[in-house]
Every structure is written in C-alpha cells, then in structure tokens.
Amino acid sequence: MATSNGNEAHIKRIIVLLDSSRAARVALEAAAELAARRRARLLGLLVEDTDLLRSASLPFGREIGFTSGRIRPMSSADMERRLRRQAEEARRLLAAAGRRRAIEWSLQICRGQVEAETLAITLPTDLLVLRRIDWARGTGLRFGQLTVRIATTANCSVMVLGEPPQAPRQPILVLYEGAETGDRALAAAALMARESKQEIMVLLPPSAEPMAEGSEAAARNWARRHKTSISFMRLPGVDAGTLVQALRQLGGRVLVLSRASPALHNPASRSLLDEIATPVIVVP
C-alpha cells in the first residue's frame, strides 16, 4: 500500500456533494462504495444556496421549472419547505447507502455558496466526490468551470465522476508529467489498481519535450520501487484537447492527474472536465 506519495492511502473520509438531482444520487452511491472499500467515513454535504434564498425573499421572485419550463411565483416560505424536504431526502438516502454497506455516515447542512462551503470543509485526508453536471444549474457557468475551480483548489484529492467504463477491464490511466507531481498520481492509481485488479497505463508527454525521457525514467523508477506493473503510451501533446482525443480512443477506467497539470490550469484547456466521459481523479 503506497504511503509516501500522496494522500490516497490515508483517506479517512469520503465527502459527496448532494442536492435533489438524480446525478447527486449516482454520486452518493459511488461515494458510498468508495467509503466501504477504503473503510472510510461517508459525509454527505448539502449546501443551501443563499443566493436562491435571497431571490425567493424578493416580491418579484419567480422560478422556472427545470423540466416544464413554467414560470411560478417563489416565496421564502416555499423555499424553506423545499430545503427541508431536500434535507430529509438526503438523510434518508445516506442512511440507506450506509446501511447497505455497513459504513459510518453523517450529513452536514450549511448555507452559503457551493464552492466556498465545500472548500471550507475539506481536509487533506478527504476524498471529495463531485458529479460533473450537478453544480452548473442556475449559475450560468459551463458545467466544468465550477468543478475545475473546486478540483484545482481543494486541499484534498477530488474525484470527478463520469460515465462508467464500457469494458470492465479498461486500464487506469495516469498523466505523468515529472516525478514531483507524477509520483503522487501514480500512488493513487496503484492503490486503485490493487483494489480493482486493473492495469495501469502511464501517459507521457511528447518525446520532443525536454522532460519526456526523464518522465519515463522517473515513472519506471517509481514502479520498480513499489513493485507495480505499468505500461506506457506517448501522447502527441498534454493539452486538454489532445487528452480528450486520446481518452476517447483508449477508454480507461479513470484518469489520474496532478492538480498542477497544465491540462487543468491553462485557460484554453478548461474544457477537459466538460468533454470527457472518463472519471477523473485530481491529486494534490
């Protein structure tokens, strides 16, 4: 079990962001499964949006039905009732997930903005589970923008869920861009590979880049020290567009990459979490 190259082996708590959507329920099931596998506590986080509450208190407040498109009056009392129902449902779903897997669970409810409240609660020993589409609703942001900000600023590992792999034996993919950050990504991938008995494929920068050969040697050294079997694929580029194209060809059970990766931080590359179906784990 890797213990010196990142926080994945020390996960004590799995945090999942909840709301009333079906996508949040899928995220809860995934988080509960991870908590059972890692023998970690499960924490459901429900953020009651203060902007919505403020809007509901205005005399001209209206809401548009997400599926019906109908415009309805909105009041503070209606909003408070809806939030209470949402909290009761979240508690019921958490209890059921915990019961099925015999895991410890809790629900934390707070009011504020999703990003700020989420970042405030996370610890380095947490794994935060996000569903790609949950947190854009009503914000005017593209689906990945809020997710990218949380994933690149949280002080813990973050899993951004995607579609389940089509083939159960698809490899775990690791974007390796040098020992300083790549070793932590490899440690996280190795733990997952042992849990699921999957292979690890290391994605390397183009051979023309100065760090390319050094990255391959560093990854081989890490694998040798930790008795981990890996294979390699050289990418034509490590920008988001190239990664999206490669992932569509490879499939992959999950992509593990460092928070420092240019694929997440380059403003032109923010489409990474929007356009790929593969689940992504961002490690500190």
**Residue pLDDT, tens place only, 118-171:** 999 999 999 999 987 544 444 444 445 777 788 889 999 999 987 766 666 789
CA distances from residue 66 to 71, 134, 135, 276 in whole angstroms, order as listed: 10, 13, 14, 25
In a domain, 144, yes or no: no
Separation of alpha carbons 181 and 261, rounded Å? 8
Separation of alpha carbons 280 and 180, rounded Å? 19
Q: What is the pLDDT of residues 32-64, one digit of tens each?
A: 999 999 999 999 999 987 776 666 555 545 554
- Pair (117, 178) in one structural domain: no
CA distances from residue 174 to 33, 139, 151, 193, 225 in whole angstroms, order as listed: 22, 31, 17, 11, 17
pTM of the predicted model as reported, rounded to 2 decimal places: 0.83
In a domain, 150, yes or no: no
Q: Total domain count for the chain?
A: 2
- Pair (128, 177) in one structural domain: no
What is the domain-level CATH number for residue 249? Answer: 3.40.50.620
Separation of alpha carbons 86 and 89, rounded Å? 5
Provide the domain limits for residue 198.
172-283
In a domain, 166, yes or no: no
Q: What is the pLDDT of residue 73?
A: 59
What one-character DSSP code corresponds to residue 176?
Answer: -
The stretches of 13-141 forming alpha helices (DSSP H) are: 22-38, 50-56, 76-101, 114-121
Separation of alpha carbons 258 and 265, rounded Å? 11
